[in-house]
Amino acid sequence: MGRDEKVVSQKAILREKMLSLRRSIPVESRTDMSNTIGRDVIGLPEIVNARHIHLYLSMTSHAEVDTAKIIEGLTAMDKQLSVPVIIDGKLFSAAFHKGDAVKVAQFGQPEPEVVSVIDESQLDVILIPLLAFDVRGYRLGYGKGFYDFFLQRLSKLGRTPFRIGLSFSRQMVDEVPADPWDEILDGVVHEHGIIRFT
């Protein structure tokens, strides 16, 4: 399936703008908002009822919503955790425990030093990073399509975990330019609460 060059261009412009916007948020404000988001996430019924949760290890360089407090909270709740790893250009889910040693991987993202890929059919909830989102539930990622293809692979396995984007509220836009294969979120948690799309 060919790419729509207009969408490619629109995404690139929005990606640059939103990354710059996020980096402009003072570190102290980002920390406070991340902590608020973390408290809301671990209180969600989908999280409380989940056994296995996939979440990302945040990149400080990209000013992402920090997941450290979420990892602490989920560990205290005795949840099974896994994190994204990129293997041969595809995203997989690898077992993770609080305190595991991590390394900086191909695109600057932290990954476990020891990778143990899990059975993806076990996943109940996926917490996903994003640069922008809209009222339809579309998200703008970093442009590699890793999460879209990961979610499609899970769907083909008959598995539809609850998909939550983690974001600061100022990352909401009127409309995210979308390709036909872009996957929609079930909800986004930002510092003012959760928005549900389904």
Strand residue runs (E) in 33-181: 52-54, 80-87, 90-96, 102-104, 110-112, 125-129, 132-133, 139-140, 162-166
Residues marked active site are found at: 139, 148, 182
Q: Report CA-CA distances (Å) from 29 to 36, 173, 194.
A: 11, 20, 19
**Cα angle at 101 between 66 and 75, to 5 degrees?**
55
Closest CA to 37 of 166, 195, 136: 166
Is 74 within 8 Å of 81 (Cβ atoms)?
yes
CA-based torsion, 52, 57, 62, 63: positive or negative: positive
